[in-house]
Chains A and B, each alone.
Chain A
Amino acid sequence: MDTAIEVTDLVVKRGKRVVLDGFSCVIPRGSVTGLLGPSGSGKTTLMRAIVGVQVVESGGVTVLGHPAGSTPLRRKIGYLTQAPSVYADLTVRENTRYFASLYRLKAAVADEAIAAVGLTGAAGQLVADLSGGQRSRASLACAIVGRPEVLVLDEPTVGQDPVLRDELWDHFRRLAADGTTVLVSSHVMDEANRCDRLLLIREGALIADDTPAGVKHAAGADDLDQAFLQLIKRQAVAA
């Protein structure tokens, strides 16, 4: 297995809380990995550490063989923040073109990214005038526009209608098939079946790292929601 992201003994404190306490995991290249866990479990914190914007207490994060946040990674990583981070006073096209220019890419590449998230019809609209779901797709377009080797997406499908959600997952699958490593967080379990691998996280601890089928099998459950509950119970008994 070719490793894209390696997290070792990561400790992150936010405020007075220890959010991640000795977290370790390995994410294979060219796959879609789902990072699943309830709200507040540390998904965003882990993703911030992977893209290199989180102050960490100790431990290591390596992406494509480089320390997280180091200069060579900045052209190879795409990050979708949980709250849409685009300029509300620019149009979708202006936003996407700006982010494309940071990677020295042409305007045509920006238009492709806009099409990939289904916003071609709204490309000329100010982000401030978009619906919540459209706004987060505009933000997604800016994350994928640089054609990154590693794509870190924090809850990309929240607030999208089912058809669009399906299309977005198809797109992630296509990117992975082309060799992109995609890490997607979600708190909706039914999306997890579309991942190659799952990382289940709860209160900053990794409670499962397996394929969706493997997770269900290990927990002896038919669906991932049940499996997650089972694994939590088991962990509580073990503790």
Chain B
Amino acid sequence: MILSSTIKRILTQLRHDPRTIALIIVVPTLLITLIYFMYDEQPAVFDRIALTMLGVFPFIVMFLITSIAMLRERTTGTLERLFTTPVGKLDLLFGYGVAFGLAAAAQATVAAGFAYWVLDMTTAGSLSLVILIAVANAVLGVALGLLCSAFARTEFQAVQFMPLVVAPQLLLCGLFVPRAAMAGWLQAISDVLPMSYSVEALTEVGANAEPTGIMWRDLAVVVGAVVVALTLGAATLRRRTP
């Protein structure tokens, strides 16, 4: 009951901000279109990059939105007040996770649908698996955003966490250099970054008609990372503050 009304509250806040909704929905589609024209002559390259981006965009967007939204809860005093009410930490964590997860699902569906039907992206596996992995990645962004908001005092600082969290994962996920071709220590870093697994899972869907064991394992790793990040995030939510 508290969880569902918290989800509703967060979605209502989003609904009052049509510009943000438009950005969430339209920007990934626009960027994928851009990639389409960049690789006009190389449909195979487009397929690979667009597929990866379908996983990366929801992560970035949801990370940003969540860290700012949670920071606002902390700085405007609403979090302090909520902690004097029957709200539990899990209501808040899952409230944000579910609400923004739903927004991410909408985003991923539009972007992936557009890539498939308008830009002729092709994958051996099914579209619904692509969306599933994209949403898992978005929820990972939500969880990390909740965690990082604890270390920022201003929205300005919160935004600065994005390159810190996103750039290494994007560079080392295998999109630019195949993971197998990386130096050993870079591979070791790549091995502990969750996005490496979501990108690998997407690649599996791209190459195989049926879901593979590797894909399910990778998805499980991403979900595991979500649980770890949420647990750490819960530890940063303190009822009592100095």
Contacts and interface: CB of A to CB of B under 8 A. Distances in A.
Partners in one complex: yes
A53 B2 CA distance: 20
Given A85-B81, A101-B1, A146-B85, A94 B9 contact: yes
Given A55-B240, A90-B12, A102 B85 contact: yes
A87 B85 contact: no
A139 to B, nearest CB: 8
Given A85-B76, A89-B13, A102 B241 contact: no
A101 B242 contact: no
B5 A89 contact: no
A130 interface: no
A22 to B, nearest CB: 19
Contact of A103 (B13, B78, B80, B85): B85
A132 interface: no
A222 to B, nearest CB: 38
Nearest to A94: B12
Contacts of A54: 240-241
B2 A102 contact: yes
Contact of B80 (A56, A85, A101): A85
A77 interface: yes
A85 B77 contact: yes
A178 to B, nearest CB: 21
Nearest to B79: A85
Interface in A52-79: 52-56, 69, 74-75, 77-79
Contacts, number: 80
Interface in A1-42: 13-15
Contacts of B83: 52-53
Interface residues of B, number: 25
Nearest to B9: A98
A63 B83 CA distance: 16
B41 interface: no
Contacts of A69: 84, 239-240
Contacts of B85: 74-75, 99, 102-103, 146
A77 B81 contact: no
Contacts of B5: 98, 101-102
B242 A14 contact: yes
B89 to A, nearest CB: 13
B94 to A, nearest CB: 15
Nearest to A81: B77
B81 A89 contact: no
Contacts of A53: 80, 83-84, 239-241
A192 interface: no
Interface in B48-98: 76-78, 80-87
A86 B242 contact: no
B225 to A, nearest CB: 29
A58 to B, nearest CB: 14
B17 interface: yes
Contact of B17 (A51, A86, A89, A94): A89
Contacts of B12: 90, 94
B1 A104 contact: yes
A74 B84 contact: yes
B17 A142 contact: no
A158 interface: no
B84 A79 contact: yes
Nearest to A128: B16
A229 interface: no
- The residue in B8, B9, B80, B84 that gathers the most chain A C-beta atoms within 10 A of its C-beta is B84
Nearest to B73: A87
A172 B150 CA distance: 36
Contacts of A98: 5-6, 8-9
Contacts of B1: 101, 104
Nearest to B77: A85
A101 B85 CA distance: 11
A83 B84 CA distance: 16
A196 B77 CA distance: 29
Q: Which 7 A-B pairs have the closest CB atoms?
A: A85-B77, A101-B5, A79-B84, A81-B77, A98-B9, A102-B85, A51-B84
Given A89-B17, A101-B5, 4 more contacts: A81-B81, A85-B80, A94-B9, A146-B85
20 contacts: A13-B242, A15-B242, A52-B84, A52-B239, A53-B83, A53-B239, A54-B240, A54-B241, A55-B242, A69-B84, A74-B86, A78-B84, A85-B78, A88-B76, A89-B13, A89-B17, A90-B12, A94-B12, A98-B8, A103-B86
